[in-house]
Chains A and B, each alone.
Chain A
Amino acid sequence: MTEEAKEKKPQWAMVIDLDRCTGCEACVVACRVENNIPTVGPEEAAKGRSINWIRVERYFEGEYPDVKVKFMPVLCQHCEEAPCEPVCPVYATYRTDEGLNAQVYNRCVGTRYCANNCPYTVRFFNFFDPVWDAPLDKALNPEVSVRTRGVMEKCTFCIQRIRKGQEKAKDEDREVRDGDVVPACVQTCQTKAMYFGNIADPESEVSRLSKSNRATRLLEELGTKPRVIYLNKGD
């Protein structure tokens, strides 16, 4: 691929406004439904085997009764220099030219090394064969592959929706613009705390918000260059 063509590729990024997040976890549910995430049941979940491509982390500040709760939705940060990628011996995870941290289930042999090197703990392992309690087993999304036992999985930025948006733009013979691609979590967010788009396009919403003085990235000091930008007034 030539440099020019590469430049024209969209670079996907997400912005999450923590000041707007109410911690309702609707994004978590939407993600499960969209991406065929198996349920493991309460016992396995208590053992740490649950899979949530996005989760809302809760942090408490202060002592009762003067307590403040902070919510932080965490998903794969799609790092530009992802620590999970080079440690995989079989190229099951690598960086696409659209800036996604891809996970190829068919290549994965399940060393779990990527998960150990992820500073955000957003990679998930299929400890058993996936199961869905009825009637969820009849409601699988046909556009998303079901993962087998023994492979890693994680947030894809709803790659199936990205492809759909790109096809639509191509049909209409134009560049991808804001609103073409809306991942499930972004779509469902009640308070509009999440934004998704092409950060290489200076006109896009995520581009504009990423330059906000509230913008920050998780564990920026590690040099992983995450593609998820958090907005936080820093109280």
Chain B
Amino acid sequence: MSERIIAVLDGVDQALSAVESLRRQGFSRAAITIMSAEPIHGAPFESDQTKSRIAGFAIAGGVIGAIAAVLLTVVTSRRVDLVTGGMPIVTPWAFGIIIFELAALGAILATLGRMIFEARLARRSALADYDEAVADGSVVLAVECSDEACLEAAKNVLGANLTRTS
């Protein structure tokens, strides 16, 4: 049984001190989610729980795009097999441009896809724990608990700011 406690705090400073208290109570970083209307710099939280592989995926996407372009240009040109302007059927100078463009396309699509995956977007329960107070500049904390003692502790720290449990 895991439950979440959601609290709305007025600003970044309050939120950060609440988080600090929670940490002193023994909450792990993974258990605390901070939601805000703009990125909070200097508070590396969940972001370094897992390593981002977006850049790696971009490179891999680029490589896949380039390979696809090589196959597309070489195979189809060989199949059509028509001479134009005395150029060879496989024309590396010209095909290089297609290879570049498809490499970039692969990198772009891989970046988008990986970013959506890593940021846990476009999922059915994406908006669980959310509170619209974020839109007005508040910072929302979601604390995950697995037992009653933990729930109590969290409620103690967050006190008046508590809005709901789920």
Contact (Cβ within 8 A) B86 A93: no
**A19 near B: Cβ within 8 Å?**
no
The answer, among A84, A86, A91, A225, for a CB contact under 8 Å with B87, is A86
**A80 near B: Cβ within 8 Å?**
yes
Residues on B with C-beta less than 8 A from A95 are: 82-86
Number of A interface residues, CB 8 Å? 14
Interface size of B as a range:
under 10
**A88 near B: Cβ within 8 Å?**
yes
**B135 near A: Cβ within 8 Å?**
no
Report the bound CA distance from A8 to B48 in whole Å: 72
Report the bound CA distance from A107 to B85 in whole Å: 18
Contact (Cβ within 8 A) A81 B85: yes
Residues on A with C-beta less than 8 A from B87 are: 86
**B43 near A: Cβ within 8 Å?**
no
Segment 45-92 of B: residues with Cβ below 8 Å from A: 80, 82-87
Residues on A with C-beta less than 8 A from B84 are: 82, 85-86, 88, 91, 93-95
User: Which 7 pairs between the two chains have the least Cβ-Cβ distance?
Assistant: A81-B86, A85-B84, A86-B85, A94-B82, A86-B84, A85-B85, A95-B83
Q: Could you list 11 further interchain pairs (A-B, Cβ under 8 angstroms) beyond the known A82-B85, A95-B82? A: A83-B85, A84-B85, A85-B84, A85-B85, A86-B85, A86-B94, A91-B84, A93-B84, A94-B83, A95-B85, A225-B86
